Chain A
Amino acid sequence: GDSVTQMEGPVTLSEEAFLTINCTYTATGYPSLFWYVQYPGEGLQLLLKATKADDKGSNKGFEATYRKETTSFHLEKGSVQVSDSAVYFCALSGDNFNKFYFGSGTKLNVKP
């Protein structure tokens, strides 16, 4: 069945460091891929998405490229800020009526 695997955390970085959070997926058909962010005490917020192969999603300095050949959707940011500290979830939505499958989440801690 469809599934998402993302790197375990926590990831601890200093401010202005480069961020990569790895995400790979297994799916039949042609899924859409998403990154959601969850700040402390809040619900999930869509960060970015890509709906087909080679698409690049971007938002707030974060980017991720839909790589069908490697079944990956790694999240990157060139210079993280303290305010980026949160839990990041990779997710996919398959052909099956928008059913979402989430990874287990990666906690990011950014230190000043």
Chain B
Amino acid sequence: EAGVAQSPRYKIIEKRQSVAFWCNPISGHATLYWYQQILGQGPKLLIQFQNNGVVDDSQLPKDRFSAERLKGVDSTLKIQPAKLEDSAVYLCASSLDLYTEAFFGQGTRLTVV
């Protein structure tokens, strides 16, 4: 079974630029999550989708971050404009539904200079 796919693996941008990350969840998984993992910290949930609807985006900095999951499958996370403190690994995860375990992708490491 294919896992959660993310791209790109690495990205370096200058502050104030924009960037987008892509995630393809495990086939058939209705729930998709985006986490931010700052170096030395545990992952922090940014946004959670159930199919193409948002379940929780309370910790998403909406002035600069946006995410969508059109058609309830793939998802993109965008940052515009980026700040130095956005440097982190962005993890995508998916689960069959809201009540089962989540499987994580390898993440995208973002460096903002």
A104 on the B face (CB < 8 A): yes
Interface size on B, residues (CB 8 A): 27
Is there an interface contact between B104 and A44, defined as CB atoms closer than 8 Å?
A: yes
Q: Are A44 and B91 in contact (CB under 8 A)?
A: yes
What are the residues of chain A within 8 A of B104 when measuring CB–CB? Answer: 36, 43-45
Verify B42–A104 contact, CB threshold 8 A: yes
Contact with A along B37-56 (1 / 0, CB 8 A): 00011111100101000011
A49-B101, A97-B98, A99-B48 known; A105-B91 Cβ under 8 A: no
Most buried by A among B50, B91, B101: B101
A43 and B48 within 8 A (CB): no
* Cβ of A42 under 8 Å from chain B: yes
How many residue pairs at the A-B interface have CB separations less than 8 Å? Answer: 54
Chain A binding surface SS class: strand
Complex CA distance for A99 and B43, rounded to whole angstroms: 12
Q: How far is the CA of A96 from the CA of B59 in the complex (A)?
A: 15
A98 to B45, CA, bound (A): 11
Q: How far is the CA of A43 from the CA of B107 in the complex (A)?
A: 6
CB proximity of B38 to chain A, nearest CB, Å: 10
Closest 7 A-B residue pairs measured CB to CB?
Answer: A102-B42, A44-B104, A43-B106, A43-B104, A97-B98, A98-B98, A104-B42
How far apart sit A98 and B94, CA to CA, in the bound complex (Å)?
Answer: 11
